[in-house]
Each structure stands twice: as C-alpha cells, then as structure tokens.
Structure 1
Amino acid sequence: MPPAPLIADLRSDTVTTPTPQMRAAMAAAAVGDDVYGEDPTVNALQQEVARLTGHEAGLFMPSGTMTNQVAIALHTQRGHEVICAEGSHIYEWELGMMAAFSGVVPRFVHAPLGIPDPEGVRAAVRRSIHQSPSGLISLENTHNKAGGTVIPLEVLAGIRAVADQEGLPLHLDGARVFNAAAALDVPLSDITGQFDTVSVCLSKGLGAPVGSVLVGSKAQMAQAHRYRKMMGGGMRQAGILAAAALVALQDGPALLKEDHRRARQLAEALAGAGFAVNLAAVQTNIIYATLPDAAAHAARWAAAGVHANALGPDSVRFVLHHQVTDEALERAIGVLTGAVVQA
C-alpha cells in the first residue's frame, strides 16, 4: 500500500523548501567567485548578517557545523578545552570535529533546560599545569537538545562577565538565535552582540535552502576564510544560495512567533493525549516527547502522512516551521494523538 499523502513534516525546520520569492531571487542573482571574495550577493549577505548581529564582518559557509568548527579553530590551540553546556550541538551532533580538526576536547557544564549558571562556567575554567587549559566558552541559544530553550539575557551577561574576567573568548552557536530573539522580543544584536563570534544558521527557522554565516571581527573572518577553505567550504558562485538567504533574512523573522505558537499548541495537545512532554521546555519551535517504542510510533505516523524524528528508543522530536499551516497542524494532531490512543 502506498504511503498517505504528506500532511506535515515535523522532523526539523531544515525540511522547508524555497519559496517562490527565493526561487526568483536565485534566478536573478548576480554572482562571482566567492573564494576570491568577488560574489556580490554573498558579500551583501555577509554584510547584512554582520549588521544585524552587531559585528564587523561575516563569512558565508555551507553549514552550521562548519561555522561552529571554524570558530573553535579560530579561538583555540591544540590541547585546549572548550567549556560548553551539557548536550551542546558542537559535541552531540558535530561528529567529534572539535577533536579531529582543532585537537580540543569539551568540558561540560551542568545546564538545566540548556541554561548554564555563570558560576558553573567559572568553576569549569582550568588553569592547572596538570589539566588541559580552557581555551573557549561556547553557548547554544536556543538549545536544541534541551528542547529549543532560550538563555535569559541576564545569564548571557553573567557569562560574558566571566569570559572577560577569565580572559577567554565567547562563541555562540546561534543556529536558532532568531528564535531566541523572537521569544525574548528583543533585537537580535541584544543577544549576539555579547559574543566574540556567532554562528547564524539561515536554513532552519528562517527557511533558506542552504547556509550559515559566521560573524566576528574583520581579522577573525580573514583567518576564518582560510579554515573554511581547509574544510572544503569554498562554494565559488554561491550568490545563487546567498540570494535565497537574503530573502529568508527579510521574510523569515516575522514568521517565527507563529511557529512558536503552533509548537505550544501541539505540545499541549500531545500532553493532553498522554505524551510525556515537559511544557516548561517548549519555549520556541521544538518539542521533545517521551514514549516507548519511539521508532515504531514514528513509522506509523509517517505512513499516515506525519513525519517526526525518533531520536532514541523512547524520545521523539517535533519541530515547527513556516510551511506547517494551522490546518496541517490540526490534521497532524489528529494523527499523532490517535496513534497514541491505539498503541
């Protein structure tokens, strides 16, 4: 029997497809060789992201993993530790690249709901000759594995103060930092301006088809260009992709609060149907639910037209994005809650 027509793909906010406006911009994009710094559309994108984040310069790359790992290489030396919240993407989902490329290891900080305490960060700093020295503090906002949770501004300020007092650089994995700004209802730069470097993903909630931008100082981005080349990130006439990303920057942020509203609606429906959902963690567009035989449930839902990610034997993730409408969400809720009742 063929699978049912797609109702909603809730696996990730990376599954969106380019809008008609993006496709038109891609077709009309002026391009050049970006490795030589000659693609005008890429340059415009880099400048715009730098402006929005309150930084001097930016560098366009294929992925958030690349921007994060280039930032780690910029700030550290081999044998250093990177202080990061437990469950951080740079460790959990970037395939050991901090060790493979930069020769550094993580030092985890306890982070309830993805929010590390500034004094916990300070306690993680290592200076002893008998231990690997601390080279970088890295935060993730929103925190994916914690459920799309947001770090409060006062906590960011506290960790910034620790970084300054300890003489350490501070990096932000801002894969969904636009979601954090929308949830806090503040300008993006109120968050990103507190960091030395920021990785900003354009292909998640904003809906671009490809790409992330690393921002920092002009000197840092000049060095980052070398690391990007080492990792195979020179995309040549990348203005075709940057054009879509510019549309995403223009149109995407205004849609994020609706994603958050729909995530709350779905989370409450799931909790009401018996899913184990921590509603306190549903702050943006991500929901984690605990239920046995997660993969079997996900396969059953997919056959009915609703896709979700089983991320372990008893964990399922749902992510809302701008291409899930209210009507699609209502239908998806019917499939998801019905499947649990039948299980």
Structure 2
Amino acid sequence: MEIDLRHLRLVSVVADQGSVTKASAALGMAQPALSAQLNRIDQALGGPVFVRDRHGARPTPLGELVLRHARVLLPAMEAFHDDVRRHVLDRPDVATSLRVGTVATVLGGIFLSRLRADLAGVNVTSFTSWSADAVALRLADGTLDIALVGACGDAVLPTEGGVEWTQVRTDPVFVLVPERHRFADADEVPLGELARENWLSAPGDGCFERCFVAACAHAGFTPREVSETERASAVEQVREGHAIALVQPLLLDHPGVRAVPLQAEPLRWTQYVGWRGDAGERFDVDLVRAAAVYSHAEAVRRSPAYERYVVAQGSAR
C-alpha cells in the first residue's frame, strides 16, 4: 500500500483528537475500521505511527515525522483545490471555502464546528502550527483566511501585510499536577511552592517561556527544567508523576490529574482571532468574531472546575 493524502488526514485527525475512539467519531468511521487503516499505514511505513493504549494515542518519533509532512502537504492540497474552484467559478471575491489556522489554542475544534454550522455552503478546512508569526505570514499572503491564536498575555502579534487581530478572551494559566500531588486539592498554589518541580509547557515561538522564568524569578527561584510537549503527552507525563505542566484551564477533564490555579495569576493566556484587512469582501468577519467568542464561552461551559473558578473570581473574562 502506498501512503496518500487520505492516510495523512487520518493520522492528523487521530493526533488532534488524542485517541482512536474520538478520531473515529470525528471522522464518522467505525473504530475497528479506523484501527485497521492505522495498522495498514504502520505496515506501509515500516513502523508504528502511534503508541495506542488505554490513555489514548500518542505519536511515535515516526508519527511526528509523518505529521510534520502532513501539516505541509494537506494545506497545500487544500489551497490547490480552492484555487481551481475559484478559477472555474470565476468568482475570486466570494469565499467558497475558508482556510483556518490555529496556534496554541484549545478552542480550535469548537471554533471550526461553529464556523461550519454558521457558514452553510462554505468548505472550512484547518491548518495547525506552533508559530503565530508563521500563521500571520500566511494570512498576509492569502494562503490562510482566518486564524485563531493563543498567545502569552504580554505578546504582540504580527500585523504586517494588513493582518488585523481581535482579542477574544484572556484566561489565567493553571498548573496541571497528578491527583496524588500535595496541592491537587488546593484552591490555589503559590508559584514559589513549586520551585523543586520539573515543568512542561506547550511548544511555541512566543514569549511565554521568558514570561514564566520571569514569574519564577519574582517568586524567588529559577525553574529546574522546562520541557516542551503537546497537550496529550503533557497529561500522560503529569499523570505518571514525571513533571507538572503549565496549561490553559479549558477542556481539561482527564483522569489522574488536576488543574490548579496559580496564586495571583502570574501568567495569563489570551485568545485572538485574526484575518487580513480586506477579508470583509470575502466573508462576514462579524460572524467569525462571534464564533470565536462563542467558542470560548462553550469551552468554559465544558470545563466545570474552571467555570467554578471564573464564577468565584466574579468575572466572565
């Protein structure tokens, strides 16, 4: 069997969903059929793409290699199809499809679903990156139409090429600890009490790590170790007690771990939605902005512990 774009899409969805069960639901496939496809992909590549166990599906080093190529090839093919479609329709000013980029946000799935529901007849496709700068460049050159980006509270997003950003919401960063951790049931934890921990954070090219180190210095210590990893891997490593993680407090309902607020909220994470300044000629930017706001509100609603925290703070943020 030769690997084609359809197989790359399957691998990408499994990686995004974090489990074969969730991916099969997202793809509308029976779980045994998806598992069989993944087995055939493993055989074609000569090794496993995922580690699959009771905790979900995590990419192997080979899987990470496949995903790096998929993140390039899939958006390129979508852009090719879009360009052909526009040429045939001879309507370049009207969006028949929208390419949406996401960076460092847990809201992407809800946001994309909302757009697909609101923009009937428009084909919505997605692209994921670790770099806000890279996504801003793609907005500027027209290879992306919309971006939903999470960034450190002190970050300034690029606006070159006429890119415009709207702030959606800002949330405090929580710390994810094992359920057996001494602060697992605390209402909040002072950052300085975690001085001897090993830390995990999400990959990215922004200022978050610098802001974290500065917050640690303010609390009187230098962090021992800060490693980057994607969210599913962070949950697994925290559950096993290897480290604790800095996390967005949304959509974090996982067994064996607890998300705990940091005292005085020393770190914050802001969600932005962006497009090029002339985007209003192709799609309803107010509708897209409303979809982003809805996505955050829905994510809070699906996160009972964080929703209680927001209510206790007396702010809907």
Question: Would you say same fold, with TM above 0.5?
Answer: no
Q: Which has the higher contact order (CA 8 A, sep 6+)?
A: 1
Which of the two has greater strand per residue? 2
TM-score in terms of structure 1 length: 0.25
TM-score in terms of structure 2 length: 0.26
